[in-house]
Structure 1
Amino acid sequence: MTTARDIMNSGARWVPAHETLDRAAQLMRDHNVGALPVSANGDQDRMVGIITDRDIVVECVAMGHDPSKVTAGDLAHGTPRWIDAAADVNAVLEEMQTHRIRRLPVVEDKKLVGMISEADLAQHLTEEQIAGWAEKVYSRT
Protein backbone atom coordinates (compact mmCIF):
# COMPACT_ATOMS: atom_id res chain seq x y z
CA MET A 1 0.00 0.00 0.00
CA THR A 2 1.37 3.39 -1.02
CA THR A 3 0.99 5.98 1.74
CA ALA A 4 1.17 9.76 2.02
CA ARG A 5 4.65 9.37 3.54
CA ASP A 6 5.78 7.45 0.44
CA ILE A 7 4.90 10.26 -1.96
CA MET A 8 5.42 13.41 0.14
CA ASN A 9 8.31 15.83 0.00
CA SER A 10 9.82 15.85 3.48
CA GLY A 11 11.16 19.39 3.09
CA ALA A 12 8.04 21.18 4.40
CA ARG A 13 8.60 24.29 6.50
CA TRP A 14 6.26 26.38 8.66
CA VAL A 15 5.79 30.11 8.51
CA PRO A 16 4.43 31.71 11.70
CA ALA A 17 1.18 33.64 11.32
CA HIS A 18 2.88 36.85 12.52
CA GLU A 19 5.58 36.67 9.80
CA THR A 20 5.34 39.16 6.95
CA LEU A 21 4.68 38.06 3.38
CA ASP A 22 8.03 39.35 2.13
CA ARG A 23 9.70 36.99 4.61
CA ALA A 24 7.35 34.16 3.62
CA ALA A 25 8.32 34.72 -0.02
CA GLN A 26 12.01 34.57 0.95
CA LEU A 27 11.42 31.27 2.77
CA MET A 28 9.66 29.89 -0.33
CA ARG A 29 12.60 30.96 -2.47
CA ASP A 30 15.21 29.58 -0.07
CA HIS A 31 13.47 26.21 0.21
CA ASN A 32 12.33 26.08 -3.42
CA VAL A 33 8.67 25.60 -2.52
CA GLY A 34 5.47 27.29 -3.64
CA ALA A 35 3.48 26.92 -0.43
CA LEU A 36 3.98 27.11 3.31
CA PRO A 37 1.71 25.93 6.12
CA VAL A 38 0.98 28.79 8.50
CA SER A 39 1.35 28.05 12.21
CA ALA A 40 -0.42 29.78 15.06
CA ASN A 41 1.92 32.33 16.58
CA GLY A 42 4.47 30.46 18.65
CA ASP A 43 2.71 27.10 18.18
CA GLN A 44 4.41 24.90 15.59
CA ASP A 45 1.83 22.18 16.29
CA ARG A 46 -1.25 24.14 15.23
CA MET A 47 -1.82 24.91 11.57
CA VAL A 48 -4.10 27.87 10.88
CA GLY A 49 -3.84 27.75 7.11
CA ILE A 50 -1.55 27.55 4.14
CA ILE A 51 -0.28 30.30 1.86
CA THR A 52 1.04 29.98 -1.67
CA ASP A 53 3.25 32.12 -3.84
CA ARG A 54 0.14 32.87 -5.89
CA ASP A 55 -1.71 34.06 -2.76
CA ILE A 56 1.07 36.57 -2.09
CA VAL A 57 0.93 37.89 -5.64
CA VAL A 58 -2.85 37.94 -6.14
CA GLU A 59 -4.09 38.84 -2.65
CA CYS A 60 -1.30 41.20 -1.62
CA VAL A 61 0.88 42.63 -4.38
CA ALA A 62 -1.80 42.88 -7.09
CA MET A 63 -4.13 44.55 -4.59
CA GLY A 64 -1.53 47.26 -3.93
CA HIS A 65 -0.65 46.09 -0.42
CA ASP A 66 2.87 46.14 0.99
CA PRO A 67 4.15 42.56 1.56
CA SER A 68 6.40 43.86 4.34
CA LYS A 69 3.29 44.91 6.29
CA VAL A 70 0.83 42.06 5.54
CA THR A 71 1.28 38.86 7.55
CA ALA A 72 0.95 35.21 6.62
CA GLY A 73 -1.92 35.01 9.08
CA ASP A 74 -3.76 37.73 7.16
CA LEU A 75 -3.90 35.40 4.12
CA ALA A 76 -4.55 32.13 5.96
CA HIS A 77 -8.26 31.66 5.21
CA GLY A 78 -10.67 28.82 5.85
CA THR A 79 -10.17 25.46 7.50
CA PRO A 80 -6.68 24.03 7.00
CA ARG A 81 -6.60 20.65 5.24
CA TRP A 82 -4.01 17.97 5.98
CA ILE A 83 -3.49 14.20 5.78
CA ASP A 84 -1.91 11.70 8.13
CA ALA A 85 1.40 10.25 6.95
CA ALA A 86 -0.01 6.70 7.16
CA ALA A 87 -3.03 7.48 4.96
CA ASP A 88 -3.41 5.47 1.77
CA VAL A 89 -2.77 7.32 -1.49
CA ASN A 90 -6.47 7.01 -2.34
CA ALA A 91 -7.29 9.01 0.81
CA VAL A 92 -4.74 11.62 -0.31
CA LEU A 93 -6.40 11.90 -3.71
CA GLU A 94 -9.87 12.06 -2.17
CA GLU A 95 -8.86 14.86 0.23
CA MET A 96 -7.25 16.89 -2.55
CA GLN A 97 -10.10 16.30 -4.99
CA THR A 98 -12.91 16.97 -2.53
CA HIS A 99 -11.40 20.29 -1.45
CA ARG A 100 -9.89 21.12 -4.86
CA ILE A 101 -6.42 21.71 -3.48
CA ARG A 102 -3.05 21.24 -5.13
CA ARG A 103 -0.84 21.03 -2.05
CA LEU A 104 -1.52 19.00 1.06
CA PRO A 105 0.45 19.10 4.33
CA VAL A 106 1.31 15.69 5.80
CA VAL A 107 1.31 15.22 9.57
CA GLU A 108 2.37 12.46 11.93
CA ASP A 109 1.67 12.57 15.67
CA LYS A 110 0.32 16.11 15.12
CA LYS A 111 3.67 17.27 13.68
CA LEU A 112 4.29 18.51 10.14
CA VAL A 113 6.47 15.94 8.37
CA GLY A 114 6.00 16.83 4.71
CA MET A 115 3.94 18.25 1.88
CA ILE A 116 2.36 16.61 -1.15
CA SER A 117 2.23 18.67 -4.33
CA GLU A 118 1.22 18.08 -7.94
CA ALA A 119 4.83 17.21 -8.74
CA ASP A 120 4.84 14.51 -6.06
CA LEU A 121 1.66 13.02 -7.47
CA ALA A 122 3.12 13.03 -10.98
CA GLN A 123 6.18 11.09 -9.81
CA HIS A 124 4.30 8.39 -7.92
CA LEU A 125 0.91 7.82 -9.52
CA THR A 126 -0.34 6.23 -12.70
CA GLU A 127 -1.44 8.39 -15.61
CA GLU A 128 -5.05 7.40 -14.94
CA GLN A 129 -4.84 8.47 -11.30
CA ILE A 130 -3.27 11.79 -12.23
CA ALA A 131 -5.84 12.45 -14.97
CA GLY A 132 -8.73 11.73 -12.59
CA TRP A 133 -7.21 13.97 -9.93
CA ALA A 134 -6.61 16.84 -12.36
CA GLU A 135 -10.12 16.61 -13.79
CA LYS A 136 -11.69 16.97 -10.35
CA VAL A 137 -9.30 19.60 -8.97
CA TYR A 138 -9.24 21.84 -12.05
CA SER A 139 -12.84 21.49 -13.23
CA ARG A 140 -14.89 24.67 -13.05
CA THR A 141 -18.02 22.97 -11.73
Structure 2
Amino acid sequence: MTTAADIMHPGAQSIPATETLDRAAQLMRRLDVGALPVSDADGRMCGILTDRDIVIGCVSHGQDPSRMTTGDLVRGTPRWIDADAGIDEVLEEMRTHQIRRLPVIEDKRLVGMISEADLAHHLSDSQIASFVGSVYT
Protein backbone atom coordinates (compact mmCIF):
# COMPACT_ATOMS: atom_id res chain seq x y z
CA MET A 1 0.00 0.00 0.00
CA THR A 2 1.27 3.45 -0.93
CA THR A 3 1.36 5.75 2.09
CA ALA A 4 1.58 9.49 2.66
CA ALA A 5 5.24 9.02 3.60
CA ASP A 6 5.88 7.40 0.21
CA ILE A 7 4.63 10.37 -1.80
CA MET A 8 5.40 13.36 0.43
CA HIS A 9 8.17 15.86 -0.08
CA PRO A 10 10.30 15.13 3.00
CA GLY A 11 11.88 17.67 5.30
CA ALA A 12 9.09 20.23 5.44
CA GLN A 13 9.88 23.13 7.72
CA SER A 14 7.48 25.13 9.83
CA ILE A 15 7.72 28.74 10.89
CA PRO A 16 6.66 30.24 14.25
CA ALA A 17 3.44 32.25 14.38
CA THR A 18 5.49 35.11 15.84
CA GLU A 19 7.80 35.37 12.80
CA THR A 20 7.32 38.26 10.39
CA LEU A 21 5.96 37.83 6.89
CA ASP A 22 9.11 39.15 5.25
CA ARG A 23 11.09 36.44 7.03
CA ALA A 24 8.50 33.85 5.96
CA ALA A 25 8.87 34.98 2.34
CA GLN A 26 12.66 34.73 2.61
CA LEU A 27 12.37 31.20 4.00
CA MET A 28 9.98 30.23 1.20
CA ARG A 29 12.47 31.54 -1.36
CA ARG A 30 15.37 29.70 0.28
CA LEU A 31 13.43 26.43 0.45
CA ASP A 32 11.82 26.98 -2.98
CA VAL A 33 8.31 26.37 -1.61
CA GLY A 34 5.04 28.25 -1.80
CA ALA A 35 3.68 27.31 1.62
CA LEU A 36 4.88 26.89 5.19
CA PRO A 37 3.14 25.27 8.14
CA VAL A 38 2.87 27.76 11.01
CA SER A 39 3.50 26.63 14.58
CA ASP A 40 2.23 28.13 17.84
CA ALA A 41 4.26 28.77 21.02
CA ASP A 42 3.93 25.09 21.97
CA GLY A 43 5.24 23.93 18.59
CA ARG A 44 1.82 22.72 17.42
CA MET A 45 0.74 23.46 13.88
CA CYS A 46 -1.81 26.27 13.89
CA GLY A 47 -2.13 26.88 10.16
CA ILE A 48 -0.46 27.07 6.78
CA LEU A 49 0.82 30.26 5.21
CA THR A 50 1.13 30.56 1.43
CA ASP A 51 2.96 33.04 -0.73
CA ARG A 52 -0.47 34.12 -1.99
CA ASP A 53 -1.57 34.81 1.61
CA ILE A 54 1.35 37.22 2.00
CA VAL A 55 0.53 39.06 -1.22
CA ILE A 56 -3.26 39.21 -0.78
CA GLY A 57 -3.42 39.51 3.02
CA CYS A 58 -0.58 41.95 3.52
CA VAL A 59 1.04 43.57 0.50
CA SER A 60 -2.17 44.31 -1.44
CA HIS A 61 -3.55 46.11 1.62
CA GLY A 62 -0.47 48.33 1.86
CA GLN A 63 0.70 46.63 5.04
CA ASP A 64 4.36 46.23 5.93
CA PRO A 65 5.41 42.54 5.82
CA SER A 66 8.19 43.29 8.30
CA ARG A 67 5.55 44.29 10.86
CA MET A 68 2.92 41.59 10.30
CA THR A 69 3.42 38.08 11.63
CA THR A 70 2.57 34.73 10.16
CA GLY A 71 0.06 34.32 12.98
CA ASP A 72 -1.76 37.44 11.79
CA LEU A 73 -2.73 35.65 8.57
CA VAL A 74 -3.41 32.02 9.47
CA ARG A 75 -7.07 31.15 9.98
CA GLY A 76 -9.13 28.08 10.71
CA THR A 77 -8.15 24.59 11.72
CA PRO A 78 -5.08 23.19 9.99
CA ARG A 79 -5.47 19.89 8.19
CA TRP A 80 -2.81 17.20 8.23
CA ILE A 81 -2.37 13.48 7.62
CA ASP A 82 -0.43 10.77 9.40
CA ALA A 83 2.63 9.43 7.55
CA ASP A 84 1.14 5.91 7.59
CA ALA A 85 -2.14 6.96 5.96
CA GLY A 86 -2.92 5.36 2.62
CA ILE A 87 -3.20 7.31 -0.62
CA ASP A 88 -6.99 7.05 -0.54
CA GLU A 89 -7.02 8.78 2.87
CA VAL A 90 -4.69 11.50 1.54
CA LEU A 91 -6.96 12.14 -1.45
CA GLU A 92 -10.08 12.12 0.70
CA GLU A 93 -8.61 14.67 3.13
CA MET A 94 -7.54 16.96 0.31
CA ARG A 95 -10.84 16.56 -1.56
CA THR A 96 -13.07 17.03 1.48
CA HIS A 97 -11.32 20.20 2.57
CA GLN A 98 -10.44 21.37 -0.97
CA ILE A 99 -6.79 21.89 -0.13
CA ARG A 100 -3.75 21.69 -2.37
CA ARG A 101 -1.06 21.11 0.24
CA LEU A 102 -1.21 18.67 3.12
CA PRO A 103 1.32 18.46 5.96
CA VAL A 104 2.42 14.95 6.93
CA ILE A 105 2.86 14.16 10.63
CA GLU A 106 4.71 11.29 12.30
CA ASP A 107 4.88 10.94 16.09
CA LYS A 108 3.32 14.42 16.40
CA ARG A 109 6.14 15.96 14.36
CA LEU A 110 6.06 17.50 10.90
CA VAL A 111 7.98 15.22 8.53
CA GLY A 112 6.84 16.33 5.09
CA MET A 113 4.32 17.99 2.84
CA ILE A 114 2.18 16.60 0.04
CA SER A 115 1.45 18.95 -2.84
CA GLU A 116 -0.38 18.57 -6.12
CA ALA A 117 2.98 17.96 -7.81
CA ASP A 118 3.64 15.04 -5.46
CA LEU A 119 0.24 13.58 -6.33
CA ALA A 120 0.91 13.98 -10.05
CA HIS A 121 4.06 11.88 -9.74
CA HIS A 122 2.35 9.03 -7.90
CA LEU A 123 -1.23 8.78 -9.12
CA SER A 124 -2.79 7.31 -12.23
CA ASP A 125 -4.28 9.68 -14.80
CA SER A 126 -7.81 8.77 -13.69
CA GLN A 127 -6.98 9.44 -10.02
CA ILE A 128 -5.49 12.82 -10.93
CA ALA A 129 -8.51 13.75 -13.04
CA SER A 130 -10.88 12.81 -10.22
CA PHE A 131 -8.85 14.78 -7.67
CA VAL A 132 -8.62 17.90 -9.84
CA GLY A 133 -12.32 17.76 -10.61
CA SER A 134 -13.24 17.60 -6.94
CA VAL A 135 -10.82 20.24 -5.63
CA TYR A 136 -11.26 22.84 -8.37
CA THR A 137 -15.04 22.74 -8.81
- Structure 2 unaligned spans of 5+: none
Aligned-residue sequence identity (percent) comes to 68
Aligned length: 137
Whole-Å Cα distance in 1 between the matches of residues 27 and 111 of structure 2? 17
Taking structure 1 as the reference length, the TM-score comes to 0.95
Aligned 1:121-132 pairs, distance under 5 A = 121-132=119-130
What do the CA deviations read for 1:35-88 (whole angstroms, capped 9, x no partner)? 0000002x33x0000000111111111111111011000111000100000000
2:72 equivalent among 61, 71, 74:
74
Whole-Å Cα distance in 2 between the matches of residues 138 and 113 of structure 1? 27
- Where does residue 19 of structure 2 map in the other structure? 19
Aligned 1:1-141 pairs, distance under 5 A = 1-41=1-41, 43-44=42-43, 46-139=44-137
Counterpart residue identity of residue 99, structure 2: I
Counterpart residue identity of residue 18, structure 1: T
Q: CA deviation at 1:11?
A: 2.6
Q: CA deviation at 1:90?
A: 0.4
Structure 1 counterpart SS, 2:10: coil
Structure 2 counterpart SS, 1:116: strand
Whole-Å Cα distance in 1 between the matches of residues 6 and 134 of structure 2? 23
- Structure 1 unaligned spans of 5+: none
Whole-Å Cα distance in 1 between the matches of residues 119 and 11 of structure 2? 16
Structure 1 counterpart SS, 2:9: coil
Taking structure 2 as the reference length, the TM-score comes to 0.98
What do the CA deviations read for 1:72-113 (whole angstroms, capped 9, x no partner)? 001110001000000000000000000000000000010000
Structure 2 counterpart SS, 1:66: coil
Structure 1 counterpart SS, 2:95: helix
Whole-Å Cα distance in 1 between the matches of residues 76 and 26 of structure 2? 24
Structure 2 counterpart SS, 1:55: helix
